[in-house]
Structure 1
Amino acid sequence: MPDPSLPPYLRIVAELRRQITDGELAPGDRIPSTRQLAKEWNVALATATKALTALRQEGLVQPRARVGTVVAAPHRSAAGARQPRPAPAAERELTRERIVRTAIAIADAEGLSALSMRAVAARLGAATMSPYRYVTGKDDLVLLMADAVFAEAALPTDVPGHWRARLEAGARALWAVHRAHPWLAQLGPLTRPLMLPHLMAYSEWMLSALDGHGLAPAAMLNQNVLLYSHVQGLAAQLEREAQAESATGLSSDQWLDAQAPTLAALTASRDYPTFTRVIAALGEGGYDLHLDELFEIGLTSLLDGLAVLIDAHRAQAAGPPVPPRTR
């Protein structure tokens, strides 16, 4: 047991260090999240964050996107003793860019709920108030994070000529960004759009693809919002699944397995004949929900509907067909 005279965060560090050293936690194993540690040790979230930061500075753990904090691979000296990984020189220099990138790493690994100015300072090994010299607060930081990840949208340099190919490229680039940073879908409702330069650049790309096809300005904006909301709506499920797995300790497959008795009772009730027939038709393989597949199905459906709308506008602009002349 850790020395009870130690500060709380050092007791957590000592116990996790022991588990890693004794092999109870192997490289790649997930370390409890800050929220789990805070509950288990009855400490504040900031204390749990400080403990994980100390372990990271020792080189014992490392953040991994969409997984959390995991045991790091051993870094040993020539004599074979495990050595802490020294922080690179860049980590000792605080800048707004480093603060933003560190915040993104926290949100990627543990979700937006784990992000705080205190957590960022702890991850950087800086004084608690130091980030406030570069960022006014968490709300400002989240906007900077969002703009930074929207800049990652890989829009092709060779602009597709056809409106549909252009919209497909834009939607897939936005989906890839949300896939890499699922917390992005949690930032706000469609009714309160984020006024960010790189998100505006994405909208410019999409609107330019919609321009010149007879659509009214409001219709162009509606189509852009629908495509954006399709991405955002699916991406929101990524973060929700991560939160559910963290709260229950069950993967989605394990959770579904646990629901088997309930599903069997529902299908045996004969109250839902269509549902029962569809489930039975799937056979033993069952149904696997794949978000990437749903994204492509939804994108195709939206663009097929838009094609009908554009064709209708073109036909209306061309006017009625001219009857052939008779001699």
Structure 2
Amino acid sequence: MEPPYLQVVADLRRRIEAGEFAPGDRVPSTRQLTRDWGVALATASKALRVLIEDGTLRAVPRVGTVVAAAPPTRPTRREPELSRDRVVRAAIAIADTDGLAALSMRSVAARLGVATMAPYRHVDGKDELILLMIDEAFGQTAYPDSPPSSWRAGLEMAAHAQWRAYREHPWVAHAVSLTRPQVLPKAMAHTEWMVAALAPLGLPAVEIFHIYLTVFNYVRGTAVNLEWEREAESTTGMTNQQWIDSHNDDLAAVLASGRYPALAATLTPDADIDLVLDDLFEFGLLRLLDGLELHLGHRDPVAAEVDPVDRGHRH
């Protein structure tokens, strides 16, 4: 069964194509759609957003959402120009907006305006489609021709590139696997970069991969919160800071109980503590790299060539 917002989209399209709403006419508001369909306000908003994005509707300040002057002609069921790339891009657009839970072969077909089975001519099914989406998301990240001379700078550059991929596509952190790595040709450029940054240190292969996976999983582990943050904001209609502010009285009451003196002494009104994911990512990454630097004994391509006995003392 299609998600509720797609059912609203299909009904509004049908009514527009039937002439119930002419170009320039206002369509039902989100609140009216909420009453008519018995859906959440966020669901009704998604439906209108989809129709605005594909050009069927447009938002007019102080008026509302109206039918576009020239509603787009929906593609016929014959789609000679349909390709794997178009299917993947449409799927990414759905996941970026509504998360992986909203993704299905049917929703991809609806977004493309093609027959439900048309995408199957280009991908075997949802599982393959998600792999292609992950690969494309990582493939959008470009690296210089060669890594910096410092292993630390190389890992830091890769971690920031990985974070940007998750920032642009929050669902990726949930879809990618650490212990069952997917074979993704474009994404392997990320692995190649990090391994190349570490290779001059002359480390055993297992240590190189442990370092690579530790950094990779730190970034991924922090990034899983991006999708939860997006979903929470969509559901509650509040930003993280607004949500925290709305619970300040509850927190103050718990701290005033005397059960948590260390927290009470730390979380004072002037503590200025925030939970901005970008800041938390940056702080944790620098501390992780500091730890690796101690573990490696500040090694660099030159230091890696010193006498093994001397190297042992430096650890």
TM-score bracket for this pair, using the shorter chain length:
0.7 to 0.9
State the Cα deviation string for residues 139-188 of structure 1 (Å, max 9, x = none).
00000011111111121235312111111111111111111001000114
**Residue number in structure 2 paired with 1:201:** 189
Confirm or deny: 8 A CA contact 2:90 2:111 kept in the other structure.
yes
Q: Which amino acid aligns with 1:225?
A: L
**Residue number in structure 2 paired with 1:258:** 246
Matched, 1:212 2:200: yes
Q: How far 1:111 moved relative to its partner?
A: 0.9
Please list, as runs of the form range in 1=range in 2, the aligned pairs for 1:44-193 lying within 5 A after superposition: 57=54, 59-60=56-57, 82-85=69-72, 93-193=81-181
Moved more, 51-60 or 233-242: 51-60
**Residue number in structure 1 paired with 2:309:** 319
**Residue number in structure 2 paired with 1:67:** none
Confirm or deny: 8 A CA contact 2:198 2:208 kept in the other structure.
yes
Greater RCO (Cα-Cα under 8 Å, separation 6 or more): 2
Matched, 1:301 2:298: no
CA 188–318 in structure 1, closer or farther in 2 if over 3 Å, else same: closer
Moved more, 248-257 or 297-306: 248-257
Q: Which amino acid aligns with 1:83?
A: A
Per the normalisation by structure 2, the TM-score is: 0.77
CA 17–240 in structure 1, closer or farther in 2 if over 3 Å, else same: farther
Q: How far 1:189 moved relative to its partner?
A: 3.9
Moved more, 293-302 or 91-100: 91-100
Q: Which amino acid aligns with 2:213?
A: V
Matched, 1:292 2:278: yes
For structure 1, list consecutive stretches of 5 or more residues without a partner in the other structure.
Answer: 1-6, 26-30, 63-70, 76-81, 322-327
SS of 2:142 mapped into structure 1: coil
Distance (whole Å) between structure 1 residues aligned to residue 237 and residue 46 of structure 2: 20
CA 166–53 in structure 1, closer or farther in 2 if over 3 Å, else same: closer
Q: Which amino acid aligns with 1:310?
A: L
Q: How far 1:238 moved relative to its partner?
A: 0.8
Q: How far 1:320 moved relative to its partner?
A: 4.5
Q: How far 1:317 moved relative to its partner?
A: 3.9
**Residue number in structure 1 paired with 2:4:** none
Q: How far 1:51 moved relative to its partner?
A: 8.7
Q: How many residues align?
A: 286
Distance (whole Å) between structure 1 residues aligned to residue 173 and residue 228 of structure 2: 10
Q: How far 1:72 moved relative to its partner?
A: 7.8
Moved more, 312-321 or 104-113: 312-321
Confirm or deny: 8 A CA contact 1:175 1:231 kept in the other structure.
yes
Distance (whole Å) between structure 2 residues aligned to residue 38 and residue 116 of structure 1: 25
Confirm or deny: 8 A CA contact 1:60 1:72 kept in the other structure.
yes
Q: Which amino acid aligns with 1:224?
A: Y
CA 100–319 in structure 1, closer or farther in 2 if over 3 Å, else same: same
Q: For the aligned residues, what is the CA RMSD?
A: 3.9
Q: Which amino acid aligns with 1:239?
A: E
Please list, as runs of the form range in 1=range in 2, the aligned pairs for 1:241-252 lying within 5 A after superposition: 241-252=229-240
Q: Which amino acid aligns with 2:272?
A: G
Distance (whole Å) between structure 1 residues aligned to residue 35 and residue 214 of structure 2: 40
Matched, 1:229 2:217: yes
State the Cα deviation string for residues 191-221 of structure 1 (Å, max 9, x = none).
1222211222211110111113142221111
Confirm or deny: 8 A CA contact 1:57 1:84 kept in the other structure.
no
Distance (whole Å) between structure 2 residues aligned to residue 195 and residue 38 of structure 1: 46
Q: How far 1:228 moved relative to its partner?
A: 0.7
Distance (whole Å) between structure 2 residues aligned to residue 86 and residue 9 of structure 1: 15
**Residue number in structure 2 paired with 1:4:** none
Q: How far 1:85 moved relative to its partner?
A: 4.5
For structure 2, list consecutive stretches of 5 or more residues without a partner in the other structure.
Answer: 1-6
Q: How far 1:236 moved relative to its partner?
A: 0.7
Distance (whole Å) between structure 2 residues aligned to residue 49 and residue 294 of structure 1: 30
Distance (whole Å) between structure 2 residues aligned to residue 189 and residue 318 of structure 1: 36
Q: How far 1:253 moved relative to its partner?
A: 2.2
